[in-house]
Amino acid sequence: MPNSALSAASLDLLICHSCGQLSRVAPGIHEAACARCGTHLHIRKPNSISRTWAFLIAAIIAYIPANVLPVMETGSLFGSQSDTIMSGVIYLWTSGSWPLALLIFFASITVPALKIISLMYLCLSVQFRSNWRPKDRARLYRVVEFVGRWSMLDIFVVAILVALVQFSALATIRPGLGVLAFATVVVLTMFAAQTFEPRLIWDNLDKKHA
Amino acid sequence: MPETPRPPDLPELPEAVAVPKSRRSLQLVWIIPIVAALVGGWLAVKTILEKGPTITITFKTAEGLEAGKTKIKFKEVEVGMVKSVTFSKDLKSVIATADLVKEAEPYIVEDTKFWVVRPRISGGTVSGLGTLFGGSYIGVDIGKSDKKRRDFVGLEEPPVIPTDVPGRQFILHAETLGSLDAGVPVFFRRLQVGQIVSYSLDKDGNGVTLKIFINAPYDQYVNPATRFWNASGVDITLDASGIKVNTEGLVSIAIGGIAFQTLAIDAAMPPAEANTEFELFRDRTEALKHKESVYTDFVAVFHESVRGLAPGAPVDFFGITIGEVTAIKTQFDPAKMEFSIPVLFRIYPERITSRYLKGAHGGRIIAPAEAKKFWQAMTDRGLRAQLRTGNFVTGQLYVALDFFPNAPKVKIDFTEQPIPVPTIPSGLQELQKTINVLAEKLTKIASDLQKVPFGEIAGDVRETMKSANKVMKRLDEEVTPQARDALIDLRKSLDSANQVLSERAPLQQDARQAMREFARAAEALRVLADYLERHPEALIRGKQEDKK
């Protein structure tokens, strides 16, 4: 297991993301500009952990209204009805559409929650300089980043229904405030995943060895 | 693991340009969670502030109630939602817990009513058809109380009259409910002006109390003297005055109804207060009967059958109903070993008012002292009570007060209460008596006849007949020839007289001629008189010749 490896940082080298120029930097300096194109250079993403935390906390806050507020208001000839994500899942489950219910349950409730928990764990493990199974943690990060784009499933469904079902008096579907909150959760977790610096997982390892 | 090889020195690498580190203590990225927290907090506060009261409503069944689906609507506007439906602890009812909107808070008071709106047909109307498709909902009728309340007992039937409808509620007491029901219409001059709100059996079980609601502006026609009666169906009465059919209209025939009316003399009274209590009469006739407050009770003891007489039967005085029979009793006098029927009746002295006479000749007979004198005087004049047949088909009887000057004198005992009025047997009974007397007399005659010695009489008669026969024979033999001669003579003289009087007889001819002459003379005389009238001078000058 390559616990300790030669890293660009340990050699005080920086690469420019824009022009690919490899530059040398004085030890101790974390921020610089590319000598060739002037792009902002950094050894590690600046303030990665605190930024990730900021996005995560915002996501957690948004997660509550996303599940409590209705995501869809269905109005028909015989009265109107508003559904939250959970009530929709329960409705699908009781009406027998188990696969669909499970799909929505995972995509809309479990996945955002797991994403937030995973990122929280990653942040904490980095902050407490954990050396526990760095490879698995790196894999976890890749999964979180990958899954992010699929979490918008609910939003798409609501968006399509709202656009399609508009028969004025007979039946209308309107998006609820919950959808906005849910979309916020998804976007914020995606940002959180992006601002997280996975290289920090390995840095601790290097420092210990060093 | 091998020791990490040192990388080759790369002297040609350019030095990155150092950037002065920005020393911001708070990073901009933290604005995001702060904004999120603010928005979330605002949402939470808003939700808490907007949260209305939670109430529980107890129903007998949960028919049509669904947690999370059944809405609470006031005037068809959604004001809440049923959150859960559970059993009560004793399993006798269901408890629906509902969240209401914030705006409803001040109206959820003591007398607010809840009921489940379902399709129903009652009182001739169909309601709640919309719930056939949209599902049942809970209806609300907002109360007027100031006291707050959070646990309610749902009504099984929707309230007939919502609280905010203008009008007044009145209370009626009836003997029986009849065919009435909540929602049954109330009529005023055949116009539907209200409805029965509810009914309940009195606690003592002796009657029924009905609550009715009269819509404005018709409630002003109800005053404390208004009479209410049950106008259900067809009211057919058969009494001493014949057959009467009364109905308030087709609706009341089908589903029943209550009608009311105020007598013209009471019309000036102010409208009745809400919740005034009234009596519900059985029918119109009874309701509109003049309610006299002044009356005198009497008793008339009859010694004959009162079949056909009933309480309520009229007491008639010269064809005017001045009272009514209140009760019929039986009486046995052990001393005399005699049965009798005391009939209690009531007379309304106000009905015998001398309207057009004033002073000593007018007024009413109501003062008790005066009344005694009056009744004794009347009795002395022969005032008696008598049973008479009012309707020969049905055999209805009524009590008639009439004067029988030949009736034996009676002294009224005013110490007795009610005052006894002497009676006289009815006409029919008198007739029966007369017939009985007649029959007795006939029987007597018959028995007298039987005592006559018909045998002797027959012998005498025969002898008499014989002697008579002899007389006849003699007459035949002696008198007849002479009589014949006399007759012949008479005929001869008559014949001659006939000849003298015949037309051709000379006497006749002469007489006729004489008459004719006389007529001519009279004519001449008239001509002369005529002429003299025109020419009076002719008396002196003589008649002038006609000019040619």
Residues A81 and A112 in one domain: yes
pLDDT at B310: 85
pLDDT profile of chain B (548 residues), mean per 10: 51 70 67 87 86 87 81 86 87 88 84 83 66 79 83 81 81 85 84 86 88 87 86 72 72 79 79 85 76 77 85 86 88 86 84 60 58 80 85 80 83 80 78 82 86 84 91 85 88 86 78 92 91 84 67
Asked if A209 has any chain B CB less than 8 Å from its own CB, the reply is no
pLDDT at A2: 47
Residues A39 and A53 in one domain: no
Residues A81 and A159 in one domain: yes
Q: Is residue B98 within 8 Å of residue B83, measured between CB atoms? A: yes
What is the complex's ipTM, to 2 decimals?
0.77
Residues A59 and A21 in one domain: no
Contact residues on chain B for A196, CB-CB shorter than 8 A: none
Neighbours of B370 (CB within 10 A): 12
Residues A54 and A18 in one domain: no
Asked if A185 has any chain B CB less than 8 Å from its own CB, the reply is no
DSSP count for chain A of H helices, then E strands: 8, 7
Residues A89 and A174 in one domain: yes
Q: Is residue B247 within 8 Å of residue B235, measured between CB atoms? A: yes
Most confident stretch, A25-39, A147-161, B210-224, B422-436: B210-224
Gap between the Cα atoms of B427 and B304, Å rounded: 12
- Contact residues, A window 23-42, toward B, CB-based 8 Å cutoff: 23-26, 29-36, 38, 40-41
- Which of B240, B404, B225, B412 lies closest to B321, judged by CA? B240
Residues A80 and A24 in one domain: no
pLDDT at A175: 85
- Contact residues, A window 72-131, toward B, CB-based 8 Å cutoff: 77-79, 81, 87
CA B365 to chain centre: 29
Domain boundaries, chain B: 48-153, 167-288, 296-427, 506-538
Amino acid identity, residue A156? Answer: F
Beta carbons within 8 Å of B37's beta carbon, 6+ residues apart: A57, A58, A61
pLDDT digits (tens, 9 = 90+) for A115-141: 999 999 999 988 888 778 888 888 999
Q: Is residue A200 within 8 Å of residue A100, measured between CB atoms? A: no
DSSP string, B385-411: EEEEEEETTTTEEEEEEEE-TTSPP--
Q: What are phi and psi of B110, to 5 degrees?
A: -45, -55
Kind and range of the H or E run holding A192: helix A177-195
Instruction: Fill in the DSSP letter of residue B361.
Output: G
Asked if B522 has any chain A CB less than 8 Å from its own CB, the reply is no
Kind and range of the H or E run holding B192: strand B191-201
pLDDT at B356: 57
- Please give the tally of structural domains in chain A: 2
Q: Which of A1, A17, A18, A24 to mutate to test the interface with B (most CBs of B within 10 A)?
A: A24
Instruction: Note down the domain range covering A17.
Output: 1-43
Q: Is residue A32 within 8 Å of residue A41, measured between CB atoms? A: yes
Asked if A188 has any chain B CB less than 8 Å from its own CB, the reply is yes
Residues A164 and A97 in one domain: yes
Of residues A205 and A21, the one with the higher pLDDT is A21
Residues A62 and A5 in one domain: no
Q: What are phi and psi of B483, to 5 degrees?
A: -60, -40
Of residues A52 and B366, the one with the higher pLDDT is A52
Residues A20 and A62 in one domain: no
Asked if B132 has any chain A CB less than 8 Å from its own CB, the reply is no
pLDDT at B362: 54
Contact residues on chain A for B138, CB-CB shorter than 8 A: none
Determine whether the interchain pair B33/A30 forms a contact, defined as Cβ–Cβ distance below 8 Å: no
In the numeric block, which tokens belong to residue B157?
A: 């039937």
